[in-house]
């Protein structure tokens, strides 16, 4: 191949005053034009480097005072796709504000909705729950059931205690009498309406919550406890507790079946508690509870509130953390199970066991109520006699 052809300048065109290229005046004019073009090109290049525009108007909305006070954070510059998406989103109608409900609670929300319990108030309640369920309620219950089924203990060498330790004392009887005096009208109304004596009602409240001084066994409120159990349906949901179950891998089918049953039970209690919170205007943070969600001075499970809860102070709502309501509710419960004035000791014992299926529980309430009914002067003389009699009739009411 030969050498490339060189691009040749055009030949000068002659005019009446000589060549365009050779006329001095025209040459000077040409130089001025070329110099101007060079200066303009330099200015354009400088504008591109600094990113300035001279003609495009600023269409951004003015910064609000609230935006000015927000802390500055470094964010990557949006690409063209992100910018287009943002513009499209801006064109859409405004959406409902987020409820703040964590994703883990959506199955619970869906189940409540299927049962006819939904709306902004329900969403607001669910939004109060922590971002993740607690493993403790279900884990604790499964460990209890697992040990009972697969790790049975040998029979106890000694029988169950007749009374709860440290409860049946003259000092505690005095506390019960003081509590009765402080709420005399409520106890009198409960006795008149339901036939439950103040000494029995106060003794029951002492055994349950020390007359309202011990209302929660765990730091979580009852709503969070029960909701956590309701959504814990598979062994993976209690992964922290599985190592505490020796040989659990051999019993995974049992674990799955048992957890589902307990979760269904917890859902029913959660549903009842949500209905109670909505009906009686009780916020979740006002519901300290037991390890399995019992609430109030009288420690009702939520499913019992609608059936046995009673308005003891006439304010139109049931608040089991209110002494008058708790007193009326426990008396109503016992009455619905057959309590009436003049029952035999054996029948009283049997009805107290419907509240908590424990002979020790019923024995303790009856013994403490005996002390509450006595005058303080007689207590020191009779308490030793009562203890000896209880020892002779161990295991019997």
Q: What CATH number is associated with residue 338? A: 1.10.530.10
CB atoms closer than 10 angstroms to residue 223? 27
Residue 251 domain-assigned (yes or no): yes
Q: What is the pTM of this model?
A: 0.71
Please tell me the predicted confidence (pLDDT) of residue 23: 44
Residue 126 domain-assigned (yes or no): yes
Residue 152 domain-assigned (yes or no): yes
Q: Residue 231: name the closest of 134, 119, 113, 101 by CA.
A: 134
Number of domains in the chain: 2
Task: Tell me the per-residue pLDDT of 111-124, one tens digit each, with 9 for 90 and over.
Answer: 999 999 999 999 99
Domain boundary among 267, 295, 323: 295
Do the beta carbons of residue 237 and residue 133 sit within 8 Å? yes
Helix (H, G, I), strand (E, B) or coil at 174: helix
Residue that wins the pLDDT comparison between 31 and 313: 313
As a residue count, the chain comes to 397
Q: How far apart are CA 255 and CA 234, in angstroms?
A: 8
Same domain, 376 and 228: no
Q: Determine the structural domain holding residue 248 and report its residue range.
A: 100-157+218-295
Q: How far apart are CA 253 and CA 199, in angstroms?
A: 48
Q: How far apart are CA 114 and CA 162, in angstroms?
A: 47
- What integer best gives the mean pLDDT of the chain? 79
CB atoms closer than 10 angstroms to residue 331? 30
Domain boundary among 232, 263, 295: 295
Same domain, 249 and 129: yes
Query: Which range is least confidently modeled, 13-22, 183-192, 194-203, 215-224?
Result: 13-22
Residue 225 domain-assigned (yes or no): yes
Most confident range, picked from 73-82, 323-332, 374-383: 323-332
% of the chain with per-residue pLDDT over 70: 69
Residue 63 domain-assigned (yes or no): no
Residue 363 domain-assigned (yes or no): yes
Same domain, 371 and 256: no
Residue 108 domain-assigned (yes or no): yes
Q: How far apart are CA 118 and CA 124, in angstroms?
A: 10
Same domain, 127 and 239: yes
Strands 14-15 and 18-19: antiparallel
């Amino acid at each position: 191949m030969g050498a490339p052809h060189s691009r040749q300048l055009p030949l000068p065109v002659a005019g009446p005053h000589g060549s365009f290229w050779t006329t001095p005046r025209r040459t000077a004019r040409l130089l001025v034009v070329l110099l101007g073009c060079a200066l303009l090109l330099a200015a354009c290049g400088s504008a591109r480097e600094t990113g300035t525009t001279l003609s495009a108007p600023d269409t951004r909305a003015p910064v609000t005072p609230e935006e000015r006070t927000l802390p500055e954070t470094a964010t990557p510059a949006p690409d063209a796709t992100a910018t287009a998406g943002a513009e499209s989103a801006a064109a859409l109608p405004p959406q409902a504000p987020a409820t703040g409900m964590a994703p883990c609670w959506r199955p619970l929300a869906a189940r409540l909705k299927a049962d006819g319990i939904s709306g902004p108030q329900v969403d607001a309640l669910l939004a109060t729950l922590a971002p993740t369920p607690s493993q403790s309620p279900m884990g604790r219950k499964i460990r209890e059931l697992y040990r009972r089924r697969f790790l049975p203990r040998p029979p106890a060498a000694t029988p169950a205690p007749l009374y709860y330790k440290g409860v049946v004392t003259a000092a505690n009887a005095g506390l019960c009498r003081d509590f009765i005096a402080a709420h005399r009208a409520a106890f009198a109304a409960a006795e008149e309406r339901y036939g439950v004596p103040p000494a029995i009602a106060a003794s029951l409240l002492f055994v349950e919550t020390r007359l309202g001084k011990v209302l929660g066994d765990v730091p979580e409120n009852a709503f969070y406890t029960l909701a956590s159990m309701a959504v814990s349906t598979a062994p993976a949901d209690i992964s922290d507790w599985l190592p505490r179950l020796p040989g659990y891998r051999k019993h995974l089918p049992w674990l799955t079946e048992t957890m589902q049953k307990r979760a269904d039970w917890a859902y029913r209690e959660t549903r009842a508690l949500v209905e109670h919170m909505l009906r009686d205007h009780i916020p979740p943070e006002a519901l300290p509870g037991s390890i399995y969600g019992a609430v109030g001075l009288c420690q009702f499970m939520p499913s019992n509130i609608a059936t046995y809860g009673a308005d003891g102070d006439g304010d139109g709502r049931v608040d089991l953390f209110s002494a008058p309501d708790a007193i009326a509710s426990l008396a109503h419960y016992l009455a619905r199970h057959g309590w009436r004035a003049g029952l035999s000791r054996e029948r009283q014992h049997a009805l107290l066991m419907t509240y908590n299926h424990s002979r020790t529980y019923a024995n303790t309430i009856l013994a403490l109520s005996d002390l509450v009914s006595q005058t303080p002067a007689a207590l020191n003389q009779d308490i030793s006699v009562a203890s000896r009699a209880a020892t002779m009739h161990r295991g019997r009411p």
